[in-house]
């Protein structure tokens, strides 16, 4: 199925420029590895940026070394020695997670919802994790302190903004609240946020 939902172009360019928090960049680069359309668009935007840079007066130029290109940004979360093989883990995360989502050690948050926390670099800000939602399971409604990016890796889900399948990205800022409901086959999502996710602080509903 075609990818319908993409990160905002400014989100992608911020990642490419190397100024995005590591957790968010991991989601963007994983989407780029799955979405040829976004890779082509980013390459075009970078070519335009280089052209504008070369045409600008010398006293207005920024050192190019401070503006890493797409390949360099991708390699921040990818071991260049690892090549993608059969599996459902995006290649930027294979060196961290391995090739199979099923082989990971999932920790149950509440019935029908499990998680795997992904360790970031020592000084990195934010939170990066996988969420595994059973068929029909609902992630409680929550807001965000800062940006939240999520990428569907398996199955499908829906929220107030539409249906999301494999490769689709939800790009939300702190103005939005939403809940997420897994589709009939369940859903595995890679989710990154600038702060500890609000839904992790909410206790499980024991009255159901």
At 81-114, the pLDDT tens digits run 545 455 789 888 888 888 899 999 999 988 999 9
CA angle 181, 199, 206 (to 5 degrees): 80
Distance separating alpha carbons of residues 82 and 35, to the nearest angstrom = 19
pLDDT: which is higher, 69 or 162: 162
pLDDT per residue over 29-41, tens digit each? Answer: 899 888 888 888 8
User: Which pair of structure tokens corresponds to residue 72?
Assistant: 């360099």
What are the φ and ψ backbone dihedral angles of 155, each rounded to 5 degrees?
Answer: 75, -145
pLDDT for residue 47 is more than 90: no
Distances from the Cα of 15 to the Cα of 37, 42, 141, angstroms = 16, 10, 27
pTM (predicted TM-score): 0.79
Chain segment 178-201, per-residue pLDDT in tens: 789 999 999 999 999 888 776 776
| Secondary structure, 3-state, 175-206 | CCCEEEEEEEEEEEEEEEECCCCHHHHCCCCC
18 in Cβ contact with 62 (< 8 Å): no
CATH number at residue 7: 2.60.120.10
Q: Which residues of 53-90 are buried (b: 16+ CB within 10 A; e: fewer)?
A: eeeeeeeeeeeeeebbbbeebbeebbeeeeeeeeeebb
Please tell me the total count of domains within the chain.
1
- The residue whose two tokens read 């989407």 is 31
What is d(CA 170, CA 38) in angstroms, rounded to the nearest whole number? 14
DSSP 173: -
Predicted confidence at residue 93, as pLDDT, reads 86
Residues 6+ apart with CB under 8 A from 177: 141, 142, 143
Q: How far apart are CA 173 and CA 54, in angstroms?
A: 34
Q: Which domain does 189 fall in, by range?
A: 1-208
Largest Cα separation within the chain, whole Å, is 66
């Amino acid at each position: 199925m075609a990818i319908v939902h993409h990160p905002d172009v400014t989100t992608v360019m911020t990642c490419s420029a190397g100024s995005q928090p590591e957790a968010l960049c991991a989601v963007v680069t994983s989407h780029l590895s799955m979405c040829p359309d976004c890779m082509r668009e980013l390459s075009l935007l970078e070519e335009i940026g280089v052209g504008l840079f070369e045409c600008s007066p010398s006293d207005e130029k920024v050192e190019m070394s401070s503006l890493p290109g797409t390949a360099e940004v991708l390699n921040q979360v990818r071991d260049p020695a690892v090549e993608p093989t059969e599996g459902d883990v995006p290649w930027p995360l294979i060196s961290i997670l391995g090739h199979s989502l099923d082989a990971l050690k999932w920790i149950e948050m509440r019935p029908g919802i499990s998680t795997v926390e992904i360790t970031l670099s020592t000084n990195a800000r934010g939170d990066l994790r996988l969420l595994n939602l059973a068929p029909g399971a609902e992630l409680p409604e929550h807001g965000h302190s800062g940006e939240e990016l999520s990428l569907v890796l398996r199955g499908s889900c829906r929220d107030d903004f539409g249906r999301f399948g494999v490769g689709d990205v939800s790009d939300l800022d702190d103005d939005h609240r939403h809940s997420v409901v897994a589709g009939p086959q369940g859903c595995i999502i890679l989710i990154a946020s600038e702060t500890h996710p609000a839904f992790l602080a909410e206790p499980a509903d024991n009255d159901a």
